[in-house]
Structure 1
Amino acid sequence: MEFMTSFPADEKVVVVGHSLGGLLISKAMETFPEKISVAVFLSAIMPGPNINTLNVIIPHLDNRITYDNGPTNPPTTVILGPKFLAANVYHLSSIKDLALATTLVRPFYLYPLEDVAKEIVLSREKYGSVRRVFIVVAENKGLKKDFQQLLIEKNPPDEVEEIEGSDHMTMMSNPQQLFTTLLGIANKYT
């Protein structure tokens, strides 16, 4: 948000959100619609005025969940385990990428859904004025194709692209096709 605030008013950017990053670019679209030429949701959560997509369940497998506010309250953080990463996030990536990812895993905070819903309120006038492209990643086990299709159906973007042969981490498992797709979108919408 600091970058978007400091960005010159007479120029526009292409914003790309991957996975939960879709929530972040949605907030930017609502706050700075005049500064965004197109928003790209790369197999990402794509909320909108017509759909609430905050109820995403992270399968457990070997993920570690903490309950800092006590076991009777909602979980506060999750750390993705190596088995979960191998089976659901990096299953088409190289073994080197998976090994690197397992060393870089950090806990991420699970904000209460009501807090997220208060922070990310989207309108047709602002969020709805920004052109959107959704990139479907069919082999993504983190956000399955049927869930991606539901997001598209409930909140239709201006365009849908698809990247084949990629897992959740498209930038690792199929970087060339991702680069080509993003470049094509940027050229089309800027």
Structure 2
Amino acid sequence: MEASGGGKHFVLVHGLCHGAWCWYKLVPMLRAAGHRVTALDLAASGAHPARLDEVPSFEDYSRPLLDAVADAGEGERLVLVGHSLGGLSVALAMERSPHKVAAAVFLTAGMPCSGTHLGLTSEEFNRRITPEFFMDSKTMVLNTGQGHRAAVVLGPKLLAAKLYDRSSDEDLALASMLVRPGSQFVDDPIMKDETLLTEANYGSVKKVFVVVKADAAMSEGFQRWMVELSPGTEAEEIAGADHMAMLSRPRELCDVLLRIADKYGCE
């Protein structure tokens, strides 16, 4: 989706296996409030033409976002919104182009802290879940130019029970048709680089974490652990939403985002 409209400029970043399509309810709400919106497909996601085995690294996976932020107009400062795994792509964009970002919103998302490696939150998430967490999801091994990489195809039972459990049947059906294989890139060297996220860049951007209290995929306790990991991070809450809060509670999420943008004077 291309940006349109005036006002503030929101850039929306999807999570694992999803695409720009998952923001379809939120985009018109933000535009109706007078703001510009860009919903991105990361590499090999949504309608992006690449296959996952053609994406060599997490940085390449995040390239559509990194380029969009870097190419923002002179003096333009964006509101980045990352959902789930998309939070790590947002963190990378903050480090690369902090002067282009007025505020970063982590919607029940991976949110690392300065001075730790990018993959810390994914490692902790995987440590806390049980082997049964992924239910009927399928794992696959990709043959890439950098060797083998694990990927996952989210199963319909997992989607229904842990991601879309408070969303409509129509949204669950849409997701079942549109999700693509995804990877957490856990073995990518960038995920293990403890010097990557600096206080001068990543740490200088205002961060707001949106806690989704009824999230069946990412527990409230884990979400609050990430907030505590980064002192100074503000927290908002949304009650009654599932992991896909942009679909199950779009109006509540829109109101939160408008408050954040107003508070930080993003132009």
Q: Scaled by the length of structure 1, what TM-score is found? A: 0.91
- Residue 137 of structure 1 corresponds to which residue in structure 2? 212
Match of 1:76 among 150, 172, 182: 150
The match for 2:226 is 151
CA contact (8 A) 2:210 2:235 kept: yes
> Corresponding residue for 2:102?
37
Once the two structures are superposed, the pairs formed by residues 161-176 of structure 1 within 5 Å of their partners are 161-176=236-251
Which consecutive unaligned segments of at least 5 residues does structure 1 have?
Answer: none
Task: Determine if contact 1:64/1:80 at 8 Å carries over to the other structure.
Answer: yes
C-alpha root-mean-square deviation of aligned residues, in Å? 2.0
Give the equivalent residue in structure 2 for 1:53. Answer: 121
Output the CA distance in 1 between the equivalents of 2:106 and 2:209.
5
Matches within 5 A, 1:107-118: 107-118=181-192
Partner of 2:139: 65
Tell me the CA shift for residue 112 of structure 1.
3.4
* Aligned partners of 1:50 and 1:154 also within 8 Å: no
Q: Percent same amino acid among aligned pairs? A: 42
Aligned residues: 187
Structure 2 residue identity aligned to 1:89: L
Post-superposition offset of 1:113: 3.1
Q: Deviations over 1:50-109 (max 9, x none)?
A: 55213132722100001346xxx9861100001001110000001111111111121013
> 3-state DSSP class of the match of 1:15?
strand
Structure 1, 140-149 or 4-13: larger mean CA deviation: 4-13
CA-CA distance at 1:146 after TM superposition: 0.8
Is the aligned partner of 1:94 residue 2:159? no
Which letter maps to 2:241?
Answer: S
Q: CA deviation at 1:114?
A: 4.2
Instruction: Judge which range, 52-61 or 148-157, deviates more.
Output: 52-61
| Contact 2:167/2:247 (8 A) holds in 1 | yes
Partner of 2:241, secondary structure, is coil
Quick one: distance in 1 between partners of 2:70 and 2:149?
Answer: 33
In structure 2, C-alpha distance between the alignment counterparts of 1:116 and 1:105, rounded to whole Å: 25
Q: Which amino acid aligns with 1:112?
A: V
Identify which range, 126-135 or 56-65, moves more after superposition: 56-65
SS at match of 2:80: strand
Tell me if the contact between 2:85 and 2:184 (Cα under 8 Å) persists in the aligned partners: no
SS at match of 1:67: strand
